[in-house]
Each structure stands twice: as structure tokens, then as C-alpha cells.
Amino acid sequence: MTCMGDEMYEEDWQVRFSECDRNQQLTYSGIVNYFQDCSNLQSEKLGAGCSYLEERNRAWILDFWQIVIERRPHSFERIKTGTWASGFKGFFGLRNFIMKSKDGELLAYANSYWVYLDMLTGRPVRITEDEASVYPVEPAFQMDYADRKIPVPQELELLGETVVNEHQIDLYHHMNNGRYIELAADYLQEQQNVRQICCQYKKQAKQNDKIKIYGNFAKERETIVLKDAEDGIYAVVSFDKK
């Protein structure tokens, strides 16, 4: 596995106590948040952030995460996250991420697919050459890439229900990306044994929507499926074990 060159955007952080679980390890959704914040900061510094998108009635909506975890950092540990665009395909933007310790230990890395959306029509649109040229493109990270379509197990057990609350809503008036993984992780049978997380987003959950949580707990993979009241799927989250 290799890391990227001069075009990778990096940020230095210190893991906060409030971001960690009972074992003082950064939560799974915490990893997502650091990656997401890193990409947002890059967009802002390139002049293509929230205001730029809002003026054009555009948004980047996350379609798929694949996150591989080598080690979760502990509270107060200093870390560095990096991100870069690895390509554009039609209305998809592809982006890689890495997380390292202050000594250069690779802690986590990720691949992601983002859909470029017209906010007036709610439909995907192709990114233009001018829009894509804002982001320096680097070769994709060397990793085993997962299919972005996660299979839904036939046998699912209803685990619980919840309602989307105000504090879970983001700029685009739907539940923030990391919240789906946060919710799914609450129902894991083996909290400390996750090597890889994949999340496929299928439908946006909005405030006051009911979410039904279903699970399938296989030997090597735990799958959590988040559904709406009519059994439509919001997201499928898989947790592969070490």
C-alpha cells in the first residue's frame, strides 16, 4: 500500500475524549467524520466548498464508503488525515482517504463514491471539465476495492426502531453520512472486532422519518440494514471482522 504525493490534502488533528468509546478508541463514525471533514476542508480551500455549490444549486452526495481499519487511535492521540480525488466518471466523483499516527503508522484508509446532484431537480448531473479541474487528481490508493453494491442478506432480524432527530440533520436537510454508520454500529454483536466497514446509501432519511433497524450476524460479516416504514432501504452497512 502506498500513499500519495504532493497533491494529497492533509490536516493534523488531536483525537478528542468525546469522540471515543468506552475503551478510549475513536468510534467508527468518528473515523468517518475525520475523513468527511478533511474532504470538506479541501473543497473550501480550493474555493469549491458549500457556498460555491449552493450558488450553483449543486451538492456532492455520498453514495458509498469502504473503510479499512488497521488500528483505531486513542483519545488525545495526534493523527493526520489525507484525501485526494482519484477520478471522475460521469456524475460520480471518486475519492480516497488515509489516516496516520504522528509517527506515520497507517491507521485507516478508505475509498468513496460521491454523486454530483442538481438540488433543483434532485437528479444526478455530469460534472463539467471546469468543475472537475478544481481538484487535482492522483492515482487511486493501492487497496483491495470492494463492490459498491452491498448484498442484502435474505434473512434479517428486526432489531429496533428509531426516529431521525434534529441533531442528526446536516446542511442538505437529511441525516448526515456518519450517522447511518453510528446507528448501525450500535447494533453490532462484536464491537471491537471490525476490520472493514462498507456503507451503501440508497435513500436519504429526513427529520422525523422512522428508521427500522434489521441485522444479519454471519461469522465473518455483520450486516445492518436501515429501512423506512414501507421497507424501502435507506442504507446497507456491512462490518467485516478481523
- DSSP line for 153-214: PS--EEEEEEE--GGGB-TTSSB-HHHHHHHHHTT-S-TT-EEEEEEEE-S---TT-EEEEE
> Which segments in the chain show pLDDT lower than 70?
1-6
Residue 174 is predicted with a pLDDT of 86
Angle at 67 between CA 105 and CA 185, to 5 degrees: 115
Residue 5 is predicted with a pLDDT of 40
Please give the grid coordinates belonging to residue 203.
435513500
Residue 127 is predicted with a pLDDT of 92
Residue 2 is predicted with a pLDDT of 33
Domains of the chain by range and CATH? 9-132 (3.10.129.10), 157-241 (3.10.129.10)
Residue 1 is predicted with a pLDDT of 32
CB-based contacts of 30: which residues, under 8 Å, 6+ apart? 15, 19, 20
Cβ–Cβ < 8 Å for 191, 157:
no
Residue 205 is predicted with a pLDDT of 92
Residue 172 is predicted with a pLDDT of 78
Residue 110 is predicted with a pLDDT of 98
Amino acid residing at 171: L
Residue 157 is predicted with a pLDDT of 97
CB-based contacts of 130: which residues, under 8 Å, 6+ apart? none
- Per-residue pLDDT tens digits for 129-147: 989 999 999 999 999 999 9
